[in-house]
Chains A and B, each alone.
Chain A
Amino acid sequence: MKILVIDDEKPTLSMFRLFLTAYGYEVHTAEDGEKGLALFHEIKPGIVFTDIKMPGLDGLEVLRRIRKSGIPSEVIVITGHGDMENAVEALDLDASDFINKPVERHALSSALARAEKRRQMQKDLVFEFFETEKENHHIVSLQGKLSASARPLFSSLFKTLKSGNEKEVILIFNDGFSIDKSGISLLMEVIQKLKQKNISIVMENLSYNYLRIFQMAGMDKFATMKEALAED
């Protein structure tokens, strides 16, 4: 599969090339946004990595233009370490995922795996959840894009919890799950409400990056988070 890496740092490009070649991709690199976009239109890669901070066209602008072009592609934004503001902004612009610099092997493989899976799935999945009961555990599996439009649906989650018997809710984030800024605050709201009812929450199958975003948002104070295992 073709993969495009856009970054203004030559050493970073070299390392991406090594890694991604080792993973078996056909790697193309560009040193700035303009060149990257031109190359994108030319080769139409399945996955794009783009750095956010670049002179000229920055990563968010590249993302915006890729989405505008309508060419389907998984765009993974590379953000500086701890730079959640840019990461969330990228998610709002419908980035598939983001990855922190310095790039960890684990995060990279996880992001690649998710991207691969999402490519298989139908695009623009509507948010939905499925509930099952199991030994006093209320298991909710989430998929699709959690955003502001999903508020009425997501609020219905509480109707089934009225009985109050449940002691634990397990939220399973499927691979097709994605979230944006308003989705994060919606999720935060739900978790806080559950916590008020003295229900413990477990979040499972979180991607490496979502785990970090949710931690940043402060959800780790209300829920136990479990990361999805990813193979290199």
Chain B
Amino acid sequence: MKMFNELTLKNKIFISCLGFTLLLSILIALFTRSLLITGLTNELKKRGIGIAQGIADSSRVHLLMKSQAELTALAYDARLGNRKDMVKYLIISDKEAHILAHTFTTGLPLNIEEIVGNQNIEKENVSSITVDRHSVFHVVVPVEEGIYTIGSVQMGLDKQHIEELIEDLRLVFLSFLSLVTVIFFFLSHRLALHITKPVTALIRHTDQLSEGDFNIISKDDLDKMILETGAKDDELAKLTNSFIKMMNRLKQSTDRLKNSQKKYLSLFQSGPNPIFVVNKKTFEILDANPNATKLFGYEKEEFIGMNLFDLGSLDDRKFTADYPDGAAMVISSKVRFHKKDGGSVFVNIHASPSEYRNKDVVIVAATDISELVEKDSQLIQASKMTNLEKMSAGIAHEINQPLNAIKMGSEYLSMMGEKKRKIREEDFQMVLREISSQVSRAAEIVGRLKTFSRKADFSREVIDINQCIRSVNKIIGRQIALQNIDFILNLDETIPPVLAHNNRMEQVVFNLVTNARDAVNERIETGRDIQRGVITLSTFSDSRDVGFVISDNGTGIDPGVMENIFESFYTTKQMGEGMGLGLPIIQGIVRDYNGTISVSSNPGKGTDFRILFPAHLKNAME
């Protein structure tokens, strides 16, 4: 069976057909033969009986007469003509089994008298015996006169004669079987060929396909394939057609795949963004597009093998997180990446998982947003300056205070000197001390302003929110007090630090405080409510977040405009008083540091702004 399975389809069909035919032929031959032999033997027996009865009829008178000569003549009659081949011998005996006539020419065989005597002569019967080394059918037919049996005719039918007949038949049969076998041999060969030829052709074409020669198959080739397989309307034709259809489909989809590959390759090669192919586990760079080499200044060869994290500080946990199905995910925004020449660029990182040369990879697009970040910081700066401008009168007042003390102190000294009046030693010391300390005070104010108005770049440091709030308080706390507004700080000194930038954070606090102050002043100026203005700034933290709430008892925000307050250029202030960029910029800064800003307001009663940042915990750093 194993050997059969290893054969080709053609041989399988051939051998199966041939085997089946042979088996069938042999079965038919055996069946026919057994049928024929039985039939022939019976026929022979019947014929023998018929001959014997004829002899018996004719021999009745002679038997009664016991005329042996007549009987012997009759016996020989039985062997006349072609009966001679069939009838081996004929014996006529009386009822006491005495042989009266026989056809043995060379004397009676040894046991014949015993055989004749043993036969039941009352009834016709046939038995198979051997006489003189010949197998014969011994036929017994009684000779009757009225109701008495007067003798018998016993006859030997030669078995050899039947066997000779059968032998002839067998020869004819074998010749016939051989002829059939030969015919079937050719037929099954043809059949096998007929079935397997198109299959072979299909196989050949499939082989070509699997070698990737899609393009060498033209329409002509396909026609030739149909022709070669001789396909018309049978299953093979259908198979061939299906195959051709499939091949066309395959060709189309391969073409499409090639096109899309081309498309993606050109996207990768000439897309505006630097793109990296990064190993998903090790973050090793496997490929980088020309824009990546252009932006970062590394050659492609230098990139390959580098770790993505060598380029900038990224959070690897975000890369290993689950990606939304088939979509790119923003990993981080405004990440500082380092160029080869030491310069830095800000990028937005998008990642999407993929496969590349049978490896699990992440396609990382690093969009250069340096210009955007720069513009952003310019805008933030402009907003800060606008705020400072509004505060300028207050700031001037504040600087004027130490200047006044210095001026008066020094003028006092010069006046006393001019008038040659004696200055008391303690007064002199006091004036000098005061001048010195007021110079420091003025310098501190100037320094704070300088720090505050300095243009900050986008970076993240570990900072203390309380510190920022105190700085802002130093800049505008006094001015708020001068406007008869209580500025209350409830600072929780145990809050963890956050990752942000001092200057930007100060700006957020500063803007919110000045907004609160404006809201309080607006209420006092426009309303009959002369309740004293209060601005409260509290810091707090929970397990994950650090934040502060700034509450005022100002005009509050109308519910109708609540959803607009974070929109750029939306302002309720009069023309020239505000650009409507304060809150959008605050929101932008807060979001840059992964914070959130929320607001709740009670019109006429006040507003709470709540800012939350993720805490920068030490164990998170490790």
On whether the beta carbons of A56 and B484 are closer than 8 Å, the reply is yes
Q: A22-B416, A22-B421, A81-B400 are in contact. Are A102 and B406 (CB under 8 A)?
A: yes
On whether the beta carbons of A232 and B430 are closer than 8 Å, the reply is no
Q: Is B353 an interface residue (CB 8 A)?
A: no
Q: A54-B482, A101-B400 are in contact. Are A232 and B415 (CB under 8 A)?
A: yes
On whether the beta carbons of A104 and B407 are closer than 8 Å, the reply is yes
Q: Is A80 an interface residue (CB 8 A)?
A: yes
On whether the beta carbons of A22 and B415 are closer than 8 Å, the reply is yes
When chains A and B are docked, how far (Å) is the Cα of A19 from the Cα of B415? 9
Specify which chain A residues have a CB less than 8 angstroms from the CB of B412 in the assembled complex.
Answer: 15, 18-19, 22, 105
When chains A and B are docked, how far (Å) is the Cα of A229 from the Cα of B18? 146
Q: A55's contact among B393, B403, B407, B482, by CB below 8 Å, is which?
A: B482
Q: Is A164 an interface residue (CB 8 A)?
A: no
Specify which chain B residues have a CB less than 8 angstroms from the CB of A119 in the assembled complex.
Answer: none
On whether the beta carbons of A105 and B404 are closer than 8 Å, the reply is no
Q: Is B274 an interface residue (CB 8 A)?
A: no
Which residue of A is nearest B405, CB measured?
Answer: A11
Interface of A is mostly: loop
Q: Is B445 an interface residue (CB 8 A)?
A: no
On whether the beta carbons of A104 and B431 are closer than 8 Å, the reply is no
Report A112-132 residues with CB < 8 Å from chain B CB.
none
On whether the beta carbons of B434 and A15 are closer than 8 Å, the reply is yes
Specify which chain A residues have a CB less than 8 angstroms from the CB of B379 in the assembled complex.
Answer: none
Q: Is A103 an interface residue (CB 8 A)?
A: yes
Interface residues on B, range: 20 to 34
Q: A80-B397, A101-B400 are in contact. Are A14 and B434 (CB under 8 A)?
A: yes
Q: Is A53 an interface residue (CB 8 A)?
A: yes
Q: Is A89 an interface residue (CB 8 A)?
A: no
When chains A and B are docked, how far (Å) is the Cα of A109 from the Cα of B120? 188
Specify which chain A residues have a CB less than 8 angstroms from the CB of B414 in the assembled complex.
Answer: 105
Specify which chain A residues have a CB less than 8 angstroms from the CB of B431 in the assembled complex.
Answer: 15, 18
Give the most central of B408, B415, B431: most A CB within 10 Å.
B408
Q: A11-B402, A22-B415 are in contact. Are A102 and B408 (CB under 8 A)?
A: yes
Specify which chain B residues have a CB less than 8 angstroms from the CB of A14 in the assembled complex.
Answer: 405, 430, 434
* Nearest chain A CB to B421 CB, angstrom units: 7
Interface of B is mostly: helix
Specify which chain B residues have a CB less than 8 angstroms from the CB of A16 in the assembled complex.
Answer: 408
On whether the beta carbons of B404 and A101 are closer than 8 Å, the reply is yes
Q: Is B241 an interface residue (CB 8 A)?
A: no
Q: Is B438 an interface residue (CB 8 A)?
A: yes
Q: Is B481 an interface residue (CB 8 A)?
A: yes
On whether the beta carbons of A55 and B481 are closer than 8 Å, the reply is yes
Which residue of A is nearest B403, CB measured?
Answer: A102
On whether the beta carbons of A15 and B482 are closer than 8 Å, the reply is no
* Nearest chain B CB to A108 CB, angstrom units: 8
Which residue of B is nearest A9, CB measured?
Answer: B401
Which residue of A is nearest B434, CB measured?
Answer: A11
Contact string against B for A residues 51-88, beta-carbon threshold 8 Å, 1 for contact and 0 otherwise: 00111100000000000000000000000110000000
When chains A and B are docked, how far (Å) is the Cα of A14 from the Cα of B434? 9
Q: Is B528 an interface residue (CB 8 A)?
A: no
Contact string against A for B residues 287-324, beta-carbon threshold 8 Å, 1 for contact and 0 otherwise: 00000000000000000000000000000000000000
Q: Is B409 an interface residue (CB 8 A)?
A: yes
When chains A and B are docked, how far (Å) is the Cα of A105 from the Cα of B409? 10
Specify which chain A residues have a CB less than 8 angstroms from the CB of B400 in the assembled complex.
Answer: 80-81, 101-102
Q: B411's contact among A53, A56, A104, by CB below 8 Å, is which?
A: A104
* Nearest chain B CB to A76 CB, angstrom units: 14
Q: Is B219 an interface residue (CB 8 A)?
A: no
Contact string against B for A residues 1-22, beta-carbon threshold 8 Å, 1 for contact and 0 otherwise: 0000000010110111011001
Q: B405's contact among A12, A54, A55, A81, by CB below 8 Å, is which?
A: A12
Specify which chain A residues have a CB less than 8 angstroms from the CB of B406 in the assembled complex.
Answer: 102
Q: B408's contact among A56, A80, A81, A103, by CB below 8 Å, is which?
A: A103
When chains A and B are docked, how far (Å) is the Cα of A54 from the Cα of B482? 5
Specify which chain B residues have a CB less than 8 angstroms from the CB of A12 in the assembled complex.
Answer: 401, 404-405, 408
When chains A and B are docked, how far (Å) is the Cα of A9 from the Cα of B482? 12
When chains A and B are docked, how far (Å) is the Cα of A18 from the Cα of B421? 13
* Nearest chain A CB to B381 CB, angstrom units: 27
On whether the beta carbons of A15 and B405 are closer than 8 Å, the reply is yes
On whether the beta carbons of A105 and B401 are closer than 8 Å, the reply is no
Q: Is B573 an interface residue (CB 8 A)?
A: no
When chains A and B are docked, how far (Å) is the Cα of A19 from the Cα of B408? 8
When chains A and B are docked, how far (Å) is the Cα of A9 from the Cα of B405? 9
Which residue of B is nearest A81, CB measured?
Answer: B400
* Nearest chain A CB to B388 CB, angstrom units: 17
Specify which chain B residues have a CB less than 8 angstroms from the CB of A102 in the assembled complex.
Answer: 400, 403-404, 406-408
Contact string against A for B residues 378-421, beta-carbon threshold 8 Å, 1 for contact and 0 otherwise: 00000000000000010011001111111111011011100101
When chains A and B are docked, how far (Å) is the Cα of A53 from the Cα of B438? 19
When chains A and B are docked, how far (Å) is the Cα of A4 from the Cα of B270? 80
* Nearest chain A CB to B286 CB, angstrom units: 66
Specify which chain A residues have a CB less than 8 angstroms from the CB of B393 in the assembled complex.
Answer: 80
Specify which chain A residues have a CB less than 8 angstroms from the CB of B416 in the assembled complex.
Answer: 22
Give the most central of A11, A55, A102: most B CB within 10 Å.
A11
When chains A and B are docked, how far (Å) is the Cα of A55 from the Cα of B400? 16
When chains A and B are docked, how far (Å) is the Cα of A67 from the Cα of B589? 51
On whether the beta carbons of A55 and B484 are closer than 8 Å, the reply is yes
Contact string against A for B residues 508-550, beta-carbon threshold 8 Å, 1 for contact and 0 otherwise: 0000000000000000000000000000000000000000000
On whether the beta carbons of A232 and B419 are closer than 8 Å, the reply is yes
Specify which chain B residues have a CB less than 8 angstroms from the CB of A55 in the assembled complex.
Answer: 481-482, 484
Q: Is B427 an interface residue (CB 8 A)?
A: yes
* Nearest chain A CB to B313 CB, angstrom units: 47
Q: A14-B434, A19-B412, A22-B421 are in contact. Are A9 and B484 (CB under 8 A)?
A: no
Q: A19-B412, A22-B416, A104-B411 are in contact. Are A81 and B396 (CB under 8 A)?
A: yes
On whether the beta carbons of B397 and A53 are closer than 8 Å, the reply is yes
| A-B pairs, 6 with minimum CB distance | A15-B408, A11-B405, A102-B407, A105-B411, A102-B404, A101-B404
19 CB < 8 A contacts A-B: A11-B438, A12-B408, A14-B434, A15-B409, A15-B431, A18-B412, A19-B412, A53-B397, A55-B481, A80-B393, A80-B400, A81-B400, A101-B401, A102-B404, A102-B406, A103-B407, A103-B411, A105-B411, A232-B419
Chain A residues in the interface with B (C-beta under 8 A): 9, 11-12, 14-16, 18-19, 22, 53-56, 80-81, 101-105, 232
Chain B residues in the interface with A (C-beta under 8 A): 393, 396-397, 400-409, 411-412, 414-416, 419, 421, 427, 430-431, 434, 437-438, 481-482, 484
